[in-house]
Structure formats: C-alpha cells, structure tokens
Structure 1
C-alpha cells in the first residue's frame, strides 16, 4: 500500500482549551465506536452514571447526547474534556482521537491530511509561505485479489498524473492565482470529457504537465472580461443556500453578517465601482499564499474521491465551488460592505473553518450545495471561468 500525506498531518497538535472554535461544540454529532462504548459500559461510579446518562444507544450505534447549546456533555467550563481528564486519552472515541485528521483510499493509495475545519489547521494554511509538500510512504500491505481485478488501473494512473500536474500548476507562482485555477478547471474538464468518451489522455496530460506548453495555452486563450452578472448570480445563490442552515448565525457568523446587510433594500443595489474595487482587491496578491494552499488542499482531498464513480470533475468542483469560491466571494462582499478586506488574520481563519465545517462534515448539506449549483449550471466549466474572471 502506498501513502500520500499532505503536509501538516504528522505535525498537528490540538491546542485544547485555547481553541476559539472547539470541535467539542457547534452541534457536531459525536459517534462512539463499539470498542470505546464497550469500555464506557464498564465504567462505574459517578463517571459511569454520567456516561450512561449522556450516551444515546440505538442498536449497535452509539453517540453522545449534545446539550442545549450543541456541545458535548463532557466539555467542561474550562473548555477541556472530562473523559480525557478522568479516564485518559486512550479512552476517547475514535472520532475525538482522530479529528481533524482524515484519510480515504483510492486504488492502492491511502490519502491523508488534516481538515481546515479546525482553526489551527486553517491558521497553518493561511500563514505557511513555502509550497505545501506531499509526503510519500509505502508498506507491504496489498489489495485483495478482487480489488486488484476490479480497479481500472489505466484510469487510476492517469488520474494520479492529473492530480500531481494540477498541484504543480497551482504552485506555479509565475502565474496569477486566477490563471492557475483557470488552467486546472480547463485541464480537469477536458480530462473528464476524454474519460467519458474513452479517449486517450496522454497528450492532454503532457500539455498540462509542461509549464511552457500550458502557459502558451493561456497566451492563446481569450481571457474573459470580468463578468459581474455571473458574480451577482453566484452571490445570490450561495447566500440563499447558507442562510437556510440551522443555527445560521452561530455556525456561519461571517455570512450571516453579510446576509443581514445585503437583505436591506438600501444595500441591495448594484454599485459597479464598489464591486470593481472589491474584486480588484480579492484578486490581488493579498492572501495569495492562502489561496494557493486552500486550492492544494481541495485538489488533494477531493479529486481522487471522484475515482470510484469516474466523476473527477464534479468531485473537485464541489470543493472549489463550496469552499474556495465562497471564501473569495465572502471577502468581496465584505469589501463592498466595509470598503476594505479584513485586516486581521483571525477573520480569515474563522471564515475558512466555519465554511469547511459546514461543507465537509455535513454530508446532506454538501450534497444539497452540489445539487443546487449543478441545477443552476454553476458547476459548468464556462460558468466557473466567467465567475473567476
């Protein structure tokens, strides 16, 4: 088995009570694995009574019963975990032990990283200046004979080439972020079309693996004029989607603030000068490292998850549309509202964590967002190129 790890996985350490957005709160469901629940059933005394009272057991499924604020019942007033304190780290559930780490398998590769829904991870992606590394490891584990036979290895190996070339494109700092993202959208869109048509992709991969060739593509392409109609449509749709979430103000305070502002008639009219200045700012080199790192995170986490259904494009664009673009457009609307982008990194960190927590840890919501954008043709390559113009 091969292992690819996005930088930060091995270095992450929870900051516990110093975290401003604890994963022990916010309405997250906390699943308890069978082994841990078996141990919890054996605990006696006051702690045993608390465990029995605070665990919902439904057949072979167990989870903590959250309090009225959506917090874990074992999160104490100091922001620390009473299970950790009284029973030890080894008796935390797998959910609590493993987060914010994630892994998924595709072909004969295990992909691993840490989620930007954690503020400390989001902070790293905002402040890490060097290109992110992808670490490689290998062991003697093998796939089963059935897995070997059922895997389309030609498609898998081609997809890995697309993944690594897309990472290289996003990390090509000789180009603007918009140019890099445009290239990746074009690349993955054409790879998907060739895959669907069972056509050869070797020439395509060769072109997008060569900076001299893909920069020539940029020079030949007609760069779309900035399309405010697409931007307004997109803003309207994502503000509508997010405003319908439960506990909207608590879960997405940055977007809640924008919805509250732009829902007033006096703020709803289109002002070309304000919109122009806002997008000049958000498309400038400000936060360029953050944009690059978030795009690498999305490509690494989402692209190969499309392998099982041979739907790489929609898998990747779900991450780009529902995380990256929404963060960018939140900043633009913030600028329109306040005359400048946020001047402190805390806003960016919490914006990233809040959006990621909604999109990446709520499957139903993520599917709803994907379907909404798909129905509106907002996942299509032409629309996305106009959107980031």
Structure 2
C-alpha cells in the first residue's frame, strides 16, 4: 500500500473544516469510540491538568465488550449531546492543545471515508458534514473524480479494502464496469432523476439475478451492461416514464408511518428535529385548508405546487447525492453478494428525504437550497448513527414482499 495518491471526487480538493463557523458540529450526537492506543496517549500526557481532564471525559468500555479498537468512549452531555472534549466555541480541546496526531482515528478521519480498492486509496466525504455536503451537493456540474494526496498518517481510519481481481470469476471482477455504468445512469440528464433511479434499479435487479444464478462471467456481466446501454438509447418503453406504476396512497402511508414511528429516535439532533417538525406542520395545514382534499391528495398537491418546481431546477442535488453514495459505498460491493439490497438502501434514503421535503415545502410554500441541505445533512447524521429509518423501510419491504422494482417505483415516483 505504498502510494502517495488517492482517488477522490473533485469536491474533496476544496474541503476543509470550517470549525466554529459550522452550523452543526461533528462532535455532537455521536458515540465516539476510542481505541486503546489513543486512550493510553491521552491519559498519559505530561500536563496534569490535561491528563485529569481527559481521564474525567473518557470512560472505558465495560468488559467483556472491551477490545483494542473499542477500548473506551468519550462521555457525552446528556442534554446537549456534546462531546466532553468540546470547549465553549465547540472546538476540540485535544486538537487545540496536543495536535491532530492525538485524535482518535474516527475524529482524525471524519468526515472522510477511506477505502482501498486493490492498492489504491479512495477518499470521499459523509454528507452529515454541512461543509462537505455544500461542496458535494450544490455543484450544478456533474460530479467528477481526480487524484490527490493520500491520507497515510497512523490515526487515519480505513473502512476496508476490496480486490477486483478474484481468481474465480465473480461480479466483483467487473467492479469498475458496474460502478462506472451506474454512475453514467445517474448522471444521464436526458431523464428526470426519479426515472434514472428506476432505470438503475432495473439494471441492479437483473444483475442480482445473474449473481444468484452464478452467471458472473465476462460475457454475462458485460453483456448485461451493453444490453442496458442499448435500451437506454433506443427502448421506447424504458424511455417512457409513464411506463412505470405509481400509487400515491401506498407511498405516503408507508413512508409517513416510518417517520411517525421513529419520532422518538431523533435524540439530540436538533436540526433534523426541526425539519421533521416542519414536515408535520406542513401536513397539518390540511386540517385548516379550504381545499377539501384528503391527506394523500393534499400531499400530492404539495408535491406539484412546491416540491417539483424547485427540484426541476435543482435536480442535480439528488444526482450528486446518489453518485457520492455509489462511490463512497464502493458499489457494487456487498458482503452478502446482495447488490440489489445496496440499491434499495439508496432508494430508502431518497424516498424518505423526498417525503420530508414535500411536507417542508408545503409549510414554507417552497424550498431553498439551504433547507434541502439542512435536511440531507441532518438526516445523514441520524441515519449513519442509528440507521433506524432505513432499517424500517427494508424491514417493511421484506415483510410485505414489496422489494421488487414494481413496488419500489411506487415509492420513487409521484
């Protein structure tokens, strides 16, 4: 792994932490795990005041759960969710007093995701960081990739490595073909974003069938990609968005139930809580509306009146979100060889965000990039932390046997 370069989306070249100017903090609302080396370094510093502060702000994980990687954790304020190491300006006292090399791996690395593909490092950013999300999502140009300096310091946390040259042919031998093609689908602006997401799903559904049948040769995988390229360019049925079914009642009831079910899971994430409240306030306007539509039709009217006009202009936000997801999750990598499930997780993110934005747009009689960014950033923060929202959608689809593209399109399409 002796390399000085890393593959990155170009927005990473402009990213740097903006510290106390940030509208959120990466040190609030998380469980920050500390490895044994970091714990030992912090509790052994020569300055007594610092040493005592660290000892009081860090607690060891109870045995037998304690490991070298998860040896201790930062204490969090029960009311604010703030890390005990934050000062009054919400800056890290460890970094300020000792430098970055004393930080725990997760703190030294966030908001970056680091992976290795074969022997090349890849770095992207998690959209729970407001500044990273701003740079990644609000660029109207298609997301592009380049190389920059790799992160090789000892406390940089890598999330894993994949190899694409397996001796026995599997779909992972065609990792780059699949990855590049799915990004091409998502960035094909001849189609609306929901239409692109459905096309990607149809491809993933057929790819999963090949995997399940052990049909993973070069002719199988590359043949499927070439077939889809031909259909995208020439298949009238695939090109017609009206081909795909929609059911506003199914969509609203299923997704609203998931949001309602998890109102108690928001915790200290005040930004997400305010977005959810805006969503609820928007829907509650139905009660006072002179328009005697039922709630489902009121929701759909909000989509057409407020959400759609904004997204018609700013559709690149979700395009960038999806491309970043594909790249940062090493798609089509899957521990269980279930590529289609990884796609379903992406859909789960999109449909929940869309639902909340429709309600928010009703309350505010429109959307702004600031409001959309606030929701995506705060939702990512809570979904990365607890994952309950996405888990509930996956469980719902599995339990009801609604995981086919016919059913997923009902959640995607309005």
Shorter-chain TM range is 0.7 to 0.9
Equivalent residue for 1:62, pick from 58, 61, 72: 72
* Equivalent residues, number: 379
1:287 aligns with 2:287: no
Show the counterpart of 2:341: 314
1:345 aligns with 2:369: yes
Aligned counterparts of 1:295 and 1:279: Cα–Cα separation in 2: 23
The CA deviation string for residues 67-96 of structure 1, in whole angstroms up to 9 with x for no partner, is: 222111121111212112222222222111
Q: What's the CA shift for 1:153?
A: 4.3
Show the counterpart of 1:333: 359
Q: What's the CA shift for 1:10?
A: 4.0
Tell me the TM-score normalised to structure 1 length.
0.85
Aligned counterparts of 2:240 and 2:134: Cα–Cα separation in 1: 38
1:71 aligns with 2:95: no
Aligned counterparts of 1:381 and 1:303: Cα–Cα separation in 2: 22
Q: 1:316 to 1:214 in 2, by over 3 A?
A: farther
Equivalent residue for 1:355, pick from 372, 379, 389: 379
Aligned counterparts of 1:379 and 1:248: Cα–Cα separation in 2: 32
Q: What's the CA shift for 1:66?
A: 0.9
Q: What's the CA shift for 1:387?
A: 2.3
Show the counterpart of 2:55: 52
Show the counterpart of 1:9: 12
Aligned counterparts of 2:256 and 2:299: Cα–Cα separation in 1: 17
Q: 1:243 to 1:106 in 2, by over 3 A?
A: farther
Q: What's the CA shift for 1:252?
A: 3.0
The CA deviation string for residues 174-208 of structure 1, in whole angstroms up to 9 with x for no partner, is: 22212211211111111111211223333221023
Greater displacement, 170-179 / 246-255 = 246-255
1:173 aligns with 2:200: no
Structure 1: unaligned runs, 5 residues or longer? 140-146
Greater displacement, 166-175 / 84-93 = 84-93
Aligned counterparts of 1:48 and 1:215: Cα–Cα separation in 2: 67
Structure 2: unaligned runs, 5 residues or longer? 151-162
Aligned counterparts of 1:264 and 1:113: Cα–Cα separation in 2: 40
Show the counterpart of 1:144: none
Q: 1:281 to 1:197 in 2, by over 3 A?
A: farther
Show the counterpart of 2:107: 96
Show the counterpart of 2:127: 116
Q: What's the CA shift for 1:14?
A: 0.4
The CA deviation string for residues 365-387 of structure 1, in whole angstroms up to 9 with x for no partner, is: 65455324432445431112122
Show the counterpart of 1:189: 205
Aligned counterparts of 1:247 and 1:298: Cα–Cα separation in 2: 25
Show the counterpart of 1:143: none
Q: What's the CA shift for 1:152?
A: 4.8
Q: For the aligned residues, what is the CA RMSD?
A: 3.2
Kept after mapping to 2: 8 A contact 1:102/1:113: yes
Aligned counterparts of 2:397 and 2:53: Cα–Cα separation in 1: 44
Aligned counterparts of 2:377 and 2:386: Cα–Cα separation in 1: 13
Show the counterpart of 2:158: none
Kept after mapping to 1: 8 A contact 2:383/2:389: yes
1:80 aligns with 2:91: yes
Show the counterpart of 2:160: none
